[in-house]
Amino acid sequence: MSRRAMRSDWGSVTEIDRGRRYRLRFWAETPDGYRRCSETVRGTRRDAYDRLAQIRLEHSSDAPCPTVGEAYSAWWLPTYERRVADGDGSTATLRNYVSIWATWCRPRWADVPCDQVRPLDVQRWVLSMPYNQARLSLTLLALVADYAVRYGAVGSNAFREKYVMPSRSTVRGHDKAIWTADEVSAIADAVRGMWLEPALLAQAYGGMRVGEALGIQPADVSGAESHGVPAAMVDVRRQVSQTGGVSDRLKTRDSRRTVPVVGPRGRRLRELAEACDGPWLTGDGMGGTVSQRVYSKALRATIKAAGVPLHPITSLRNSWQTWMRWQLHVPPYIIEPIMGHAVPGVTGTYYDRPTPQMMLDAVASAYAGTKWDQR
């Protein structure tokens, strides 16, 4: 039996399927005039009330100006969640923004109507935070308030004013150093024969992200050759998270690609794939994946034992990009699609469509005849 309707200050919510479906009733302007409407929501009671609040913001003629929190919950958050579901947004970016909202933005701005956000208050609030948190918080709030402007709730976005930012001295220093090509070669030699070797080769000689390198299956690797240089062609189709979960959703749409790993290291990666009898090229030995945390911890210990300077594991990608560009002189427009980046401008958006073979030919041509051709 359905529960009786519970009224909010505008419209009503009625449970019709034991906590799984709710019927909303409200008044709205329609092509047939101002009339009573209804809508069914699947989810929790909170989802139903959130949807009712969103409808009020969109249709009620007497609705007050939405608060910053209402604009976040009704407009920005579901829009970005749809982007992530469609592959146009990053799950990690969404997670970071949600954390920034909960920690820094919500306590100060959630209950403030968008038309009562004063630049002076924003400036004081910005100066009360560390630099990075202030920068990210302002970015998120500006995106949220853009919806209030777009839908006519306010005439301008106070979060888009140019504010004095906190001192950069509040930023903790990060290790931005990279490994040289010789140091990367020493790391590759140190991990030879270890379970983490395939992921290291994919990172260090293919420029892959950590999660992408851990998500490679044997069938994703095929052999190739160009300009007399052997190579492994690796299809990037999934990634492994910090905790070992597998997702087919990559960071961006451009992240789904085929990466050429050339030279002796590419040949070695191909051999490892051919010899692998498990579902994952870098696995736990029991048919499961290895998390980013476990892999990074093991790799750091190996690098330290090898006497090579220790930097963040993600710097292998930076090192590959720098080596490709400054030592092999591969142009950025070739490097970017291999790394899973969109080539900027009209050319990248509408025209540039390199095939995996084209990328292999370009990298192998730069690689052939160098001292790295034999390493």
Average pLDDT score over residue span 304-329: 94
For residue 29, list its beta bridge partners: 34
Residue 92 has phi, psi (to 5 degrees) of: -65, -40
For residues 228-247, average pLDDT: 93
pLDDT in the model for residue 309:
94
How confident is the model over 54-61, as a mean pLDDT? 67
Average pLDDT over residues 137-152: 93
Highest mean predicted confidence (pLDDT) among 7-16, 74-83, 154-163:
154-163
Instruction: Give the class (CATH, top level) of 181-374.
Output: mainly alpha
Q: Is the pLDDT of residue 93 over 80?
A: yes
What string of DSSP letters covers 145-210?
Answer: HHHHHHTTS-SS-GGGS--PPPPGGGSPP-------HHHHHHHHHHTTTSTTHHHHHHHHHH---H
pLDDT of residue 198: 98
Nearest residue to 41 (alpha-carbon basis) of 11, 67, 71: 11
pLDDT reading at 1 higher than 50:
no
pTM over 0.85: no
pLDDT for position 46: 80
Instruction: Report the C-alpha gap between 52 and 37 in whole angstroms.
Output: 12
Q: What is the mean pLDDT of residues 212-224?
A: 97
pLDDT value at 101 more than 70: yes
| Span 347-374, average pLDDT | 88
Cα distances (Å, whole numbers) of residue 313 to 66, 300, 335: 44, 7, 20
Distance (Å, rounded) from C-alpha 17 to C-alpha 23? 10
Identify the band that residue 62 occupies on the pLDDT scale cut at 50, 70 and 90: low
Domain boundaries, the chain: 1-61, 64-173, 181-374
Q: What is the dihedral of CA 139, 348, 341, 247, to 10 degrees?
A: 90
281 in Cβ contact with 195 (< 8 Å): no
pLDDT value at residue 197: 97
pLDDT of residue 268: 97
Residue 61 has pLDDT above 80, yes or no: no
Q: What is the pLDDT of residue 2?
A: 46
Residue 170 is predicted with a pLDDT of: 60
Most distant CA pair in the chain, distance: 79
The predicted model gives 314-342 an average pLDDT of 94
Task: Compute CA 159 distance to the chain's CA centroid, rounded to the nearest angstrom.
Answer: 24
Mean pLDDT, the chain, whole residue set: 89
H or E element, residue 54: helix 45-59
Return the minimum-mean-pLDDT range out of 64-78, 83-97, 249-263, 352-366.
83-97
Tell the CATH topology of 64-173: DNA polymerase; domain 1 (1.10.150)
Region 256-273: what's the mean pLDDT? Answer: 96
pLDDT in tens, 159-201: 999 999 998 776 566 778 999 999 999 999 999 999 999 999 9
User: Residue 4 — pLDDT band, cuts 50, 70, 90?
Assistant: very low
* 181-374 and 64-173 share a CATH fold: no
Structure-block tokens of residue 95: 């997670």
**Model pLDDT, residue 257:** 96
Confidence of residue 106 (pLDDT cuts 50, 70, 90): very high
Give residue-wise pLDDT tens across range 10-35.
Answer: 678 888 877 688 988 876 666 666 66
Q: What is the C-alpha separation between 262 and 231, in angstroms, rounded?
A: 4
